[in-house]
Structure 1
Amino acid sequence: MSIRKDVIKQCLISKQREVDEAEIVNRPIDFEENGNYVIVGVRHAGKSYLLYQRVRQLQAEGKGWDEILFVDFEDERLAEFQAEDFNSLLEAHLELYGKKPVVFLDEVQNIPHWDKFVRRLADAKYRVYVTGSNAKMLSKEVATTLGGRFFICDAYPYSFKEYLVAQQVELREHWEYDTIQRSEVKRYLNEYFYYGGLPEILSFKNKRAMLSSLYQKIYLGDICARNNIKNDRVLNILIKKMAESVKQPLSYNRLRNVIVATGSPISVPTTIDYADYAADSWLILPMENEIGKLTEKETQKKYYFVDNGLLNLFLMNSETSLLENMVAVELCRRYGKKNVFFLNAEKEIDFVVPDEKLAIQVSYSIKDETTYNREVSPLVKYAKAHEDWKCLLITYDEEGTEEEIPVVPVWKWLT
């Protein structure tokens, strides 16, 4: 049975009020004026609010709700929505306003044949913005299904800058020299360091319990539901091993051996599948060796977690892993996850971004001589061999210069 058009109109109007009243942290995403977008990313990263942000941008350019159609498919009034109802959306808006709108479809993944509808809209020269759950909508599948009609936009949890804005912290000029404000930034960094930047986390006092619930019910559940995994125990062991090994390359054979040692038989191909499922869900960000052989690139990856709060669920007293993970996610956010690598050859460098000629080493502290030699020496050698590259050493709270290499505390680098 089709959704009545008056119900659709009610949903459109009530959503307009919700968007207008929402408090938004503006995020640095540049939307092409004539582009169509599918926003993908980890669950609860704020994809819907990116649509709200785009609506506000269009309103600032002079468009009103008479030129914007926004549908939230999690509205219970649309629970019975089917593919044949899509055209009623356009008809309902046309009856209300008589204009061709920019179309926003939020959480559309559960509606059959949504992809065919948005392709038709794009072919008819509508501007279209779409979000959906990673349990049903993977970026690689979207790219295949929608062809060249849509840009894929990656949504990450808050950066530290965005986190400060969400906490209503306004950084004054030269704030790093202001004792009070510097202390405030460091206090929020400590919170961000351990509990991450998922927007929803800000409203919870028991942040760890909230993160644990998200992981068990949503992230793990998403992966199992999409890939028909009946027993999540093996998947959970694999993810835990990835968390314990954040700083080291991890082979599929090693992952398999760890799982087998717990009494769960598993093949290498199935291990590879499970690792891919975790990456597809955006829980994990795989990273390749920049100069490794093809087989090494595919089988000896590092695995970072998309949010420090999720990683911290698995760790005990591992500030070094949390620091490196935080830097990894920020680099992926700034430069794109396909453009960031680690270097494991004669010299071991934590991160290289070839397109930016940037090399970064991460160490919680370099006061210890052994740590200094392990972290600083390879970067110094790399800098001498790549004079046109920018090389940085990022620490938790130490600053200075070591053999012409800038040493930057992470709170300063992130802001």
Structure 2
Amino acid sequence: MIKRELYMSRIRPFIGNELIKVLTGLRRSGKSVMLELIQQELRQSGVSEQQFICYNFEQMRYAHLCQAQNLYQEVLSRAKAIEGKVYLFFDEIQEVEQWEKCINSFRLDLDCDIYLTGSNAKLLSGELATYLAGRYVEFVIYPFSFAEFSDMYRTIVPDASIGQCFSTYLTEGGMPYLSNLRYEVEPSRQYLQDLYNSVVLKDIVKRNKIRDVDLLERIIAYVTANIGTTFSATSVSNYLKSEGRKVSPETVLNYLRACESAFLFYRVQRQDIRGKKILAVQEKYYVADHGIREAVFGGNMRDIQLVLENLVYLEFLRRGYHVTVGKAGNQEIDFIGEKQNQKIYVQVTYLLASEQTIQREFGVYDHIRDNFPKYVVSLDEFDRSRDGIKHRNIRDFLMAESWE
């Protein structure tokens, strides 16, 4: 089991205190394992296993507890037999109707430490979430980073080079369960296809009561084919019209929001660097796991430039950056990451194969006069840094402990 220290280091300061710990993220991205890792840490600190109360609400045996009142009575009954603090672990809490009322009551009625997971970004945005306002801290759990993937892959293929690890990562992606399939191509692809169907049906269609599943799938296919490229809801609407499907831009936006809420896509806004304002049109989208993209739609190696961008974008999110796309006149910087008054600029390309490409990728920084780090990231093996702009091989960039 990979320790996932990136997340544990963030969660650890909150273990044992009254704030509710909420772990969100794409289905099967490792949230349940994080609960196990937290339990493991608690045991090591002297907490008894008997103090844990754990439920996964996707399991049929707990179906009767998916009503808040039933869950409340069950937990109170079990807590009476526990000496000391009670540790509550609720997996996929969104399956419980009016779960917020129930969780808030535990917080008030028990000496407890509460951990929740959920597969929907709207988990804490509904009316009932006002019960928990200011009383929780949220952690988004992402599929394996390249560093985590490499550690896991080398437990299966001990002599794998960094290049072999990256080649496999490009096609298989970072979903943790693939290690149980030993990253064998066909079983992995089948698993990822089934996972995709589960996300679409359970977390998007069912949760948002979507009736036109065919339209949803067409929109998902369009966005997946165009990750990392700017487009608008109107351009999607026009494309679908050319395919014989009439749909308004507003409907497209609603369907995209549903996909975002299920953590299937991430939307990135554009920032006018000179005017220092967020632009409201022509946003970009990236997919939560490029392995799902390859399994369901194919084309990762054909679209490798876009897939490399996808990898870098998700690594920004893992490291806690707020990310925008930079626009300076007619030029565009792939990513501007901001965190705690720090900023980093990153330009991603496949290969610096010609002097023209080099001039284009490095030239986007010509009009940026601040002293924050500026990178060009590619698959090239040789360092082409120049004029204070750092060039890094993407493998090294993704594995680096710090980008500052």
- 8 Å contact from structure 2 (residues 68, 101) kept in 1: no
- 8 Å contact from structure 2 (residues 333, 347) kept in 1: yes
User: Is 1:140 matched with 2:135?
Assistant: no
Looking at structure 2, the residues matched to 393 and 144 of structure 1 have their Cα atoms a distance apart, in angstroms, of 44
Give TM-score, length-normalised by structure 2. Answer: 0.86
Match of 1:352 in 2: 336
**Which amino acid is 1:396 matched to?**
L
**Paired positions, count:** 376
Looking at structure 1, the residues matched to 107 and 215 of structure 2 have their Cα atoms a distance apart, in angstroms, of 42
Looking at structure 2, the residues matched to 163 and 143 of structure 1 have their Cα atoms a distance apart, in angstroms, of 35
Counterparts of 1:172-211 in structure 2, within 5 Å, are 184-204=161-181, 205=184, 206=186, 207-211=188-192
CA deviation string 1:96-131 (max 9, x = no partner):
x33331211112322222211111222345321011
**Which amino acid is 2:284 matched to?**
K
User: Is 1:27 matched with 2:8?
Assistant: no
Cα–Cα, structure 1 residues 56 and 122, in superposed 2: closer, same or farther, change >3 Å? same
Match of 1:297 in 2: 279
Match of 1:307 in 2: 289
Deviation, structure 1 residue 295: 9.9
- 8 Å contact from structure 1 (residues 45, 156) kept in 2: yes
Match of 1:403 in 2: 386
Secondary structure of residue in 2 paired with 1:138: helix
Give TM-score, length-normalised by structure 1. Answer: 0.83
Secondary structure of residue in 2 paired with 1:71: strand
Looking at structure 2, the residues matched to 139 and 202 of structure 1 have their Cα atoms a distance apart, in angstroms, of 31
| Unaligned stretches of 5+ residues in structure 1 | 1-22, 171-179
Deviation, structure 1 residue 145: 5.3
Match of 2:260 in 1: 279
CA deviation string 1:139-177 (max 9, x = no partner):
43385552111111101101112112323459xxxxxxx
Match of 1:340 in 2: 323
Cα–Cα, structure 1 residues 168 and 249, in superposed 2: closer, same or farther, change >3 Å? same
CA deviation string 1:61-93 (max 9, x = no partner):
221123332223334332222333323223224
Cα–Cα, structure 1 residues 26 and 120, in superposed 2: closer, same or farther, change >3 Å? same
Looking at structure 2, the residues matched to 209 and 397 of structure 1 have their Cα atoms a distance apart, in angstroms, of 32
Match of 1:174 in 2: none
User: Is 1:108 matched with 2:93?
Assistant: yes
User: Is 1:129 matched with 2:120?
Assistant: no
**Which amino acid is 1:308 matched to?**
H
Deviation, structure 1 residue 382: 4.6
- 8 Å contact from structure 1 (residues 304, 325) kept in 2: yes
Looking at structure 1, the residues matched to 223 and 36 of structure 2 have their Cα atoms a distance apart, in angstroms, of 35
Secondary structure of residue in 2 paired with 1:255: helix
Cα–Cα, structure 1 residues 360 and 24, in superposed 2: closer, same or farther, change >3 Å? closer
Deviation, structure 1 residue 234: 1.5
Which range moved further: 213-222 or 357-366? 213-222
Cα–Cα, structure 1 residues 202 and 247, in superposed 2: closer, same or farther, change >3 Å? same
- 8 Å contact from structure 1 (residues 244, 315) kept in 2: no
Structure number having the greater helix percentage: 1
Secondary structure of residue in 2 paired with 1:330: helix
Cα–Cα, structure 1 residues 276 and 294, in superposed 2: closer, same or farther, change >3 Å? farther
Looking at structure 2, the residues matched to 311 and 272 of structure 1 have their Cα atoms a distance apart, in angstroms, of 21
**Which one of the candidate residues 5, 20, 23 is aligned to 1:36?**
20
**Which amino acid is 1:47 matched to?**
K
Secondary structure of residue in 2 paired with 1:156: coil
Looking at structure 2, the residues matched to 37 and 185 of structure 1 have their Cα atoms a distance apart, in angstroms, of 35
CA deviation string 1:240-274 (max 9, x = no partner):
22122222211111111111111111111111111
- 8 Å contact from structure 2 (residues 347, 376) kept in 1: yes
**Which amino acid is 1:73 matched to?**
F
Match of 2:146 in 1: 160
